[in-house]
Amino acid sequence: MSGDVPATVHAIYDEVLRRNPGETEFHQAVREVLESLAVVLDRHSEYTEMKTVERICEPERQVIFRVPWQDDRGEVWINRGFRVEFNSALGPYKGGLRFHPSVNLGIVKFLGFEQIFKNALTGMPIGGGKGGSDFDPKGRSDAEVMRFCQSFMTELYRHLGEYTDVPAGDIGVGAREIGYLFGQYKRITNRYESGVLTGKGLGWGGALVRTEATGYGAAFFAEAMMDVRGESFDGKRVVVSGSGNVAVYGIEKVHQLGGTAVACSDSSGYVVDDAGIDLDLLKQVKEVERGRISDYAERRGSASFVAGGSIWDVPCDVAIPSATQNELDGDAAAVLARNGCRYVVEGANMPATPTAVKALREAGVAFAPGKAANAGGVATSALEMQQNASRDRWTFEHSETRLAEIMRDIHTRCHETAEEYGSPGDLVLGANVAGFIQVAEAVHAHGLI
Ligand code: NDP
Ligand code: 2IT
């Protein structure tokens, strides 16, 4: 069943499969980490004796709840809400909420599991968690989104707290939703507890750079990878999938660093714009009008829209998949490599399939896993918590400098750990091993819990 998983972790993986049937994305995320950990278990027998890996694979708490709400016509809808509090060894559970019709327990668990190691890599005091709902905000009015968020928080609030569990945004959850969620939390608890959610509005406890952080951070990470190879973004063609929060600010920073983003997408198709994506227009279409990427092509002479299809067919030097899990498969990876792509940097969580990662490695394409490359978002959430706790407010420049330092540090740590464990250049192994050891040490210090 577990195929070529190394023998040392074989039994652990089989047990994860047995205990979590049908949760394919969770299996995929666990397997990828376990494949990196065999070398660690060889050096640390205490992790085997104390079943440290097994404990980390089991969430500390999983909450599933009903979310009833009424649409503008009075029709009643029942959605399902989730919060998986995966690991609190390093700090309060921290991780986003995703509102998307595809959300199920397996997806929330894969995201929560990844979040544990990502948060460790940031060096900030945050544990790992994730949540969300199968609610689809697309096409819903503000009033409907508000009613949904209020119902969702009416159940979730009892599990949250600035020292307990601190959600933020993810797919389908941005500043609007965080506002409604915060309002309902405040109303129920009668506490203005700023640090209970991150990604808040700038006028009421939010932090500068949080909006930009994930995309900017991914671009900084890519720059660090290029630096090691004596290269830079200068003159590079970049393809960024998605056109949401991560994609838009990834493109912005790519442009500032000297690259040109020539394509982006949404779930209906992709646009190619050889003149370079016009960011003002993209923000107008996606952020202000909440429109579709095809609207961008209609208003931009140099752009064309391709319905459906694969954005990875567009030749580029750098690919930054920033939409969703498993959006870049083995065939797409082969096409990218054949077209001369040299860097693939995950802006999204687990966008490249295992087959894609293998194909990229074999083709000599430098690859960065999401848990390292997209950690800038949650790292800046931790900076927001820090500002809330001290009732302080930092400038954009100061916060961006912190973010850039954090991303460089994560890259250095992954790079050096990969060398130390005998796999130079393998940032997947570097990220998994560095993140795991940090969590495992804290788990040990806290005793058998
Ligand atoms: P948004 O909701 O802002 O944007 C998501 C984008 O991805 C949209 O363009 C959306 O298109 C597209 N997309 C979503 N689901 C699918 C799908 N099933 N198939 C095709 N396209 C899809 O989300 P974010 O930008 O915040 O998140 C993008 C990725 O980055 C996710 O993997 C998320 O987990 C990850 N991430 C986000 C962080 C953050 O701070 N926001 C931090 C770290 C990682 P459409 O509108 O058509 O659905
Ligand atoms: O996947 C992620 O890291 C996020 N969605 C951000 C989490 C956070 O708490 O800022």
DSSP string, 190-209: T---GGGSSS--GGGT--TT
Q: Ligand 2 pocket, 172 CB below 6 A?
A: no
* Nearest residue to 224 via CA among 407, 360, 346, 374: 407
Numbers of helices and strands, H then E, in the chain: 17, 12
Residue nearest to atom 3 of ligand 2 (CA): 378
The number of residues making up the chain comes to: 449
So what's the pLDDT on residue 3?
A: 57
> Where residue 1 falls among pLDDT bands split at 50, 70, 90?
very low
- Measure CA of the first residue to CA of the last residue in the chain; give whole Å: 30
Q: Ligand 2 pocket, 378 CB below 6 A?
A: yes
pLDDT tens track for 147-164: 999 999 999 999 999 999
How far CA 361 is from CA of 73, 186, 334, in Å, comes to 52, 48, 11
130 catalytic per annotation:
yes
Q: Ligand 2 pocket, 170 CB below 6 A?
A: yes
3-state helix, strand, coil in the chain (%, to 5): 50, 15, 30
Residue 282 tokens, joined: 């993209």
* Ligand 2 center from residue 310 Cα (angstroms): 26
Cβ proximity of 140 and 67 under 8 Å: no
Q: Ligand 2 pocket, 36 CB below 6 A?
A: no
Q: Ligand 2 pocket, 349 CB below 6 A?
A: yes
So what's the pLDDT on residue 415?
A: 98
Residue nearest to atom 9 of ligand 2 (CA): 95
Q: What is the mean pLDDT of residues 183-199?
A: 98
* Secondary structure of 15-82 as H, E, C letters: HHHHHCCCCHHHHHHHHHHHHHHHHHHHHCHHHHHCCHHHHHHCCCEEEEEEEEEECCCCCEEEEEEE
* Ligand 2 center from residue 73 Cα (angstroms): 33
* Nearest residue to 30 via CA among 350, 366, 415, 418: 350
| DSSP code for 124 | S
Q: Ligand 2 pocket, 377 CB below 6 A?
A: yes
| pLDDT beyond 50 at 277 | yes
- The residues that bridge with 367 in the sheet, in sequence order, are 344
Catalytic residue among 109, 130, 253, 371: 130
**Ligand 1 cavity residues, CB under 6 Å:** 100, 102, 169-172, 214, 242-247, 266-268, 322-324, 347-349, 374, 377
**Alpha-carbon gap, residue 230 to 389, rounded angstroms:** 40
The ligand with the least distance to the CA atom of 218 is: 1
Look up the pTM and report it.
0.98
| pLDDT beyond 60 at 13 | yes
* Ligand 2 center from residue 180 Cα (angstroms): 18
Cβ proximity of 36 and 428 under 8 Å: yes
Residue nearest to atom 4 of ligand 2 (CA): 96
**Alpha-carbon gap, residue 246 to 305, rounded angstroms:** 21
Handedness of CA 274, 276, 281, 282 (dihedral sign): positive
Q: Which domains does the chain have, with CATH numbers?
A: 61-192 (3.40.50.10860), 213-364 (3.40.50.720)
pLDDT tens track for 222-267: 999 999 999 999 999 999 999 999 999 999 999 999 999 999 999 9
**pLDDT averaged over every residue in the chain:** 97
* Ligand 2 center from residue 61 Cα (angstroms): 19
* Nearest residue to 423 via CA among 414, 436, 412, 410: 414
So what's the pLDDT on residue 2?
A: 52
pLDDT tens track for 328-341: 999 999 999 999 99
> Where residue 321 falls among pLDDT bands split at 50, 70, 90?
very high
Strand-strand pairing, 165-168 and 93-99: parallel
Residues 6+ apart with CB under 8 A from 104: 134
* Ligand 1 center from residue 76 Cα (angstroms): 27
